[in-house]
Amino acid sequence: KEEEANYRKDLGEPATSPDGLEIELLANIELATEVDGALTNGARGVGLYRTEFLFLACDPELPTEKTHFETYCQIAEKLKDEVVTIRTLDLGGEKFFNRTFVREKEINPVMGVRGVRLCLMRKDIFRTQLRAILRAAHKYKNIRIMFPLISGVREWRTTRDFLQEVMEELRSEGIPFEENPSLGVMIEVPSAAMVADLLAEEVDFFSIGTNDLIQYFLAIDRANDDVSYLYDPLHPGFVRLLSQVIAAAQKKGIDVSCCGEMASSPIYACLLILLGLRKLSMNPSSLPIIHHMIRVMDFTRMGKLINDPAKVPTGPDTRAAFLKAFRELL
Ligand code: PEP
Ligand code: MG
Q: Nearest C-alpha to atom 9 of ligand 1 is from which residue?
A: 50
What lies within 8 Å, CB to CB, of 164 at 6+ separation is: none
257 in Cβ contact with 277 (< 8 Å): yes
Give residue ranges with CB within 6 A of ligand 1.
48, 50, 90, 188, 209-212, 259-260
Predicted structure pTM score: 0.96
Residue 59: its pLDDT value, please?
85
Mean pLDDT, 10 residues at a time, over the chain (330 residues)? 81 96 98 97 98 91 96 97 97 69 77 93 96 98 98 98 98 98 98 98 98 97 92 98 98 98 98 98 97 97 97 98 96
Residue 262 CA: which ligand 1 atom is closest?
A: 3
- So what's the pLDDT on residue 174? 98
Using alpha carbons only, give the angle 208, 214, 216 rounded to the nearest 5 degrees.
105
- How far, in Å, CA of 309 to CA of 226, rounded? 26
Active site residues: 259
Q: Rounded to the nearest whole angstrom, what is the distance from the C-alpha of residue 187 to the centroid of ligand 1?
A: 10
Smallest CA separation from ligand 1 atom 3, residue: 209
**Looking at this predicted complex, what is its ipTM?**
0.99
Residues within 5 Å of ion ligand 2, judged at the Cβ atom:
188, 209, 212
| 211 is known to lie in a ligand binding site | yes
Check residue 3 and give its pLDDT.
77
Listing DSSP states for 204-218 in one string gives SEEEE-HHHHHHHHH
Q: Which ligand is nearest to the CA of 263?
A: 1
| Closest protein CA for atom 8 of ligand 1 | 211
What pLDDT is stored for residue 276 in this prediction?
Answer: 98
CB 114 within 8 A of CB 91: yes
Residue 63 pLDDT: 95
CA separation (Å) from 264 to 77, 130, 308? 26, 29, 21
Measured distance CA(13)–CA(194) in Å, rounded? 37
